[in-house]
Amino acid sequence: MHRIRLLTLILCAALAATLLTSVTARADAHPRETGRTVSGPGTPRAEVGLDPATGTPTLAVTRQGRTVLEPSPLGIVTERADLSTGLTLTGRTDREINEHYTTAAGKDRTRSVRMHEARFRFRSTATGARLDLTVRVSRDGVAYRYTLPATSGNVLGETSAFTLPGDAAAWLGAYRKDNENLFNGYGATAAPTGEYMMQGLFRTGSGDGADYALIAESDLSGSYAAAHLTHTAGSPTYGIKLWDGTPIQTSGTGTLTTPWRAVITGDLATVTQSTFTDDLAPASRVRDTSWIKPGKALWTWLAGGRAAGQSLEMQKGYVDYAAARHWPYTVVDAGWYFDPAQWDVTDPDWQQNSWIPELVRYGRERGVGIHVWIHHRDLDTPEEREQWLPTLEKWGVKGVKIDFMDSESQATFQWYDQILAATAAHHLLVNFHGSTIPKGLQRTWPQVMSFEGVNGEEKKTNTPQHLATLPFTRNVLGSMDFTPGAFHKPDRPNAGSDAGELGLTVLYESGIQNLSGKPGSYDARPVARTFLEQLPNAWDETRLLAGAPGESAVEARRSGSRWFIGGTYAGAARTAAVPLTIGHGTWLVETVTDTPAGLVRTPHVVRGGATLSVDVVANGGFAAVACRWYAGRTDC
């Protein structure tokens, strides 16, 4: 009996060892069927290359057999090792990632994440230094990042780059520290020498065989600095530059994992509807999110300027107007704390001199929350944050609009780490201006309602082409505070189309949709005012209906059972054909369009999947709302 038990134990141990060896082999060896390929069902295919002569790693991306990225350089250089050449591949492990999460703001409320991940382990033949490359593929993208041991030293730069097919088209914005520049169209190879924002869109192929690639980054924290693109005219390759070239300071006490370099890819609808940069980011660090409520806001800067920010009575008038529209917020911009006689911070009771608590009380009685603008320089130290944030929370302020960071350095992202944790702790919604762009931060810190990072409504340099490019570039990456609705501005590029301006309130997603018109400008356009009163505070689903970068964009966003549609067009007047791909059945669609007599609301009964015809003026657009039709229904 003991011999039988002993034999059984030996056999079980042998079987366990065999199974363990088998699992390890599958994880560490290079499977014959995949080699250095990373792919999953229905995903693009990423191919990690390694030049046998130089030991230089590359990454290529294909989709359905078509080239999205040619073999593109990989690598990172530290003060102790050049990990871009002379490498050997020593192992590989694979795993599947399946996650589900919800968001307060964004293009879709509920998200499902399915990715295949492969981790490649490299070693320098010259120094023995180690480098891990992690590659993820999803239905809508390919991403990679590096992991280095603590002994690697400070990072001097990356050799990471993206090489496009020679005939690719590009839509790029010249880089500036607040990401506020126009997007323009180029040939990818012919684009001028220069630096470009890390949100470059590329098209390869044409017609039904066209693929798009939007280059971005995700999961960026104070352990690193933001990157942007560099290009030399005549080359199909776009390199990576870290902020201003300053070395990344590492602690030396743990491994360094870099941000994801992401390529959102697919057809234009897949790219536009993608949540890939959020999907790559860490899960929410805010446990109780019940206080996080997105919504529309009457933003008073373009409506009244600094004078409005200095006047309690004017602000009360804005609260009354927002309350009548059922808009949940107003935003008090610059001016409210810049009176030296009012703000003597050496006075222990300096906070009591503000009229903001009175405005908060007034708004609360009318169902309107108050957000306040504040300069970054007043929150850039722990002492200042401890002075301001608990005070604003005590007053009952709902959110802060923080402005003028004007940097994407490692030190600035360390500040982002601190201010994000602090605003969450004090239950303050956040809108960053003069800032970086989302980079996945809205998943990790869901109190972040929006970022500027866009050449928005305040600017006088916008073009119709820029308006028609933003839905395919900047707004793909997360909420964008363009601040639409400024009907009173004569210098807007769609100045001849109030319907086009109205459509931007749907087309451009923002957790806080700051409506920038004057109350009188809404009252003068009752059709627009009624539409804005119907506009939801958040979206459940987003679909691209039509468009092409720089030419036009039409998106539908669902809230409950209703769809809202916004469209913008660059160029001549036309009758636009919009595929109504919002579901089967019959829909009542109320369009808002321009006529010589002003805005007109027109009902249409349309079958799902059919084409909706909409008259659009030159450099104009339209807005619409759609609901299920039944006999006798005349409005949504």
Name the active-site residue from 94, 378, 458, 615. 458
E strands, 376-498, in order: 399-403, 429-432, 448-451
Name the active-site residue from 158, 217, 333, 403. 403
3-state SS of 328-384 is CEEEECCCCCCCCCCCCCCCCCHHHHCCHHHHHHHHHHCCCEEEEEEEHHHCCCHHH
Catalytic annotation on 403? yes
Give whole-number Cα distances, 68 to 43, 238, 263, 529, in Å.
Answer: 13, 14, 9, 44
User: Which of 199, 266, 272, 193 shows the shortest CA–CA distance to 557?
Assistant: 272
User: Which of 454, 404, 396, 403 shows the shortest CA–CA distance to 426?
Assistant: 396
User: Which of 198, 186, 272 shows the shortest CA–CA distance to 508?
Assistant: 272
User: Which of 293, 353, 354, 360 shows the shortest CA–CA distance to 331?
Assistant: 360
Task: Decide: 498 and 485 in contact? Cβ < 8 Å.
Answer: no
- Provide the Cα torsion 283, 285, 289, 295; round to 10°: -70
User: Which of 597, 441, 585, 551 shows the shortest CA–CA distance to 183?
Assistant: 551
What's the token pair of residue 91? 């192992």
Which element (helix H / strand E) includes 323?
A: helix 312-325
E strands, 427-487, in order: 429-432, 448-451
- Written as one letter, the residue type at 450 is S
Give whole-number Cα distances, 17 to 9, 20, 24, in Å.
Answer: 12, 5, 10
Termini Cα distance of the chain:
81
Task: Report H helices in 468-525.
Answer: 498-507, 519-523
Catalytic annotation on 178? no
Burial label for 90, CB within 10 Å (0-12, 13-18, 19+), is exposed
Task: Decide: 424 and 286 in contact? Cβ < 8 Å.
Answer: yes
User: Known catalytic residues?
Assistant: 403, 458
